[in-house]
Chain A
């Protein structure tokens, strides 16, 4: 994996050095159509978000976002290739052109938006960082963590949030920074660290695969805002719009009450909003440079946001996450899609 980082970085450097200056702008869609699939950077080992199952079939919220993009572009959610990346590798892989879109629980921040050559699409999960700790230690709140050893992933906003949190509370702590999710979780479960810090959804995912999930609690304090969003390269507005509206289509469908089960039925709807959304009335697809049926294809093959959420991370999955901030705006959450017109 070390080698992979090096190879990726070398690739990035080589790409930046050799590629002539006018290749990227506006051409991701053409390049993707030409090769016949979308390359999606994913986590690779995060339960509920991006991880292959025992049979090698990829599953997760981020994975489904990648499939939605493929459904929008090709009308076929299967025309997608998932590339597992660590936190350190992810942006380099995108910058170097190894992947077309990054769906890997990346937090949108000002620096990343401005200095990394990246653009973020619509948020597909609103998260916040917190701490997971063994019940045996009897800690009830993050304020009691003075002197704790904390396991944390490198190259993430997590690393800085934790530092900011302990600094503002004037608490001592010691980080143990390990690059691979799996190795980090192993070290935590073996007791190398007192607590593990990450986004609440990730902690739930890690706890779901713990040797003894009931032994661990997630502390109530949420110490940061983590709007997780798919990421594309800066400078290709059309591609960014496509990724954006692939996510928004799923949110909009939930609001309109369209599911993968009833989408064919809905084609016959006389509601002009639904007709426009599903491409019965033309215009939306052409505006994005896609097939008029792009939203129909996404909902038919991947599902609406609510379906995707419940299938991967919802209350009936091992992660057992509430909708919370990720509910529709009509239900008091933050999920809100602009009109499809």
Chain B
């Protein structure tokens, strides 16, 4: 909107009329557009209220505090049918967030691997990557979700005949149940130790960079980090008395009790979204890498840098400025596509909000909430990615 038009009034002394002054005209048109938007908005708002009143449809967010009285299949927070609609919706938001966050991370990793594989000089590797991207991009994501969901419930046996590939792990059409260590106070300390480890690594990295700039000596930050990060939590565990009690899943009645459960709905949704979106990310990564001229690689090699360092120091920084903006939009796509969850029974936010709308009849409030939540997710993602984009942008000296 804010185009930097060189102002005529600054360059010429002669007085221009209002209608010929682009600066003032721009302000005028923007004010006009804003006024129209406000007027239309006001009309829609008041008309909506009158219509709702006439149709005898209640309005407002008063239903938030009422008992939801419906159950949600899985939730990150404790939830039961006796809780309020507000809590049910929160559980839905967290379920969406869970799929989105894990999905985005896996997508970026898989997409990058496939994108690089497509440029591999190995014929088999590059062909496989090509087939993957071409096929998965072209099948509608909803069909892929149905497919993966069917794979889980059709192929896997019932809980009573569950497959037991490793001790403490059971696979059935109810999902994957995994034994986990029984809750113990030491776990909090292990987490604290891990966070402390992260801070240590971050400081080490700063120190190593400074030292390299001053003395030219390189410190093996990566190898040190790999050693430090697991070591601190392990130490905390040993000091805490090394508890080994496990919460092992056990077949009781219809299903497994204990351990943690990854439901087929979650797995199918995650798998479907990641495989689909990663195909697009792969193309973005490939385009990004190909945008860096081959001369850059040759120049870096001739300096004596090893291939890993060439990728890390020369290719990636230049490729990233091409990759990051479209990558952001793929991350948003994945988040938004997660709303297809209701088709395969994963209780995401849209699913919970739909039930809420149906039970309370508050369609306008419900849809407004859905829009607000997705808008918030989108804006946060894009704000973070813009910050990252600025950070990886080429620093011109």
Contacts and interface: CB of A to CB of B under 8 A. Distances in A.
Query: Are A and B associated in one complex?
Result: yes
Interface of A: 1-2, 5, 9, 12-13, 16-21, 24-25, 87-88, 91-92, 95, 111-112, 114-117, 137, 145-149, 154-156, 159-160, 162-164, 166-167, 173-180, 183-184, 186-187, 190-192, 194, 233-235
Secondary structure call for the A interface? mixed
B119 interface: no
Interface in B128-163: 142, 146, 149-150, 153-154, 158
Interface of B: 44, 47-48, 50-52, 54-58, 69-74, 80-82, 142, 146, 149-150, 153-154, 158, 173-174, 252-255, 257, 264-265, 339-340, 342-345, 347, 351, 354-355, 357-361, 363-364, 367
A117 B57 contact: yes
Given A21-B54, A111-B360, A167-B82, A177 B367 contact: no
A284 B178 CA distance: 69
A149 B342 contact: no
Given A2-B340, A235-B55, A147 B254 contact: yes
A187 B345 contact: yes
B153 A183 contact: no
Contacts of B82: 167
11 contacts: A13-B367, A91-B358, A95-B55, A115-B57, A149-B254, A174-B73, A175-B73, A177-B342, A177-B355, A179-B354, A192-B173
B3 to A, nearest CB: 33
Nearest to A234: B56
A131 B58 CA distance: 33
Contact of B55 (A162, A184, A234): A234
Nearest to B51: A16
Given A12-B363, A154-B342, A178-B345, 5 more contacts: A111-B361, A175-B70, A179-B343, A190-B150, A190-B154
B37 to A, nearest CB: 15
B56 A191 contact: no
Q: Which among A19, A115, A156 has the greatest number of chain B C-beta atoms within 10 A?
A: A115
Q: Which among A17, A180, A192 has the greatest number of chain B C-beta atoms within 10 A?
A: A192
B358 A18 contact: no
Closest 10 CB pairs of A and B: A155-B358, A117-B55, A116-B361, A163-B81, A117-B57, A147-B253, A192-B153, A178-B345, A190-B153, A17-B44
Contact of B253 (A116, A146, A233): A146
B343 A180 contact: yes
Nearest to B44: A17
A159 B355 contact: yes
B364 A154 contact: no
A149 B81 contact: no
A191 B52 contact: no
B364 A13 contact: yes
Contacts of B254: 137, 145-149, 194
Contact of B71 (A19, A162, A186): A162
A164 B70 CA distance: 8
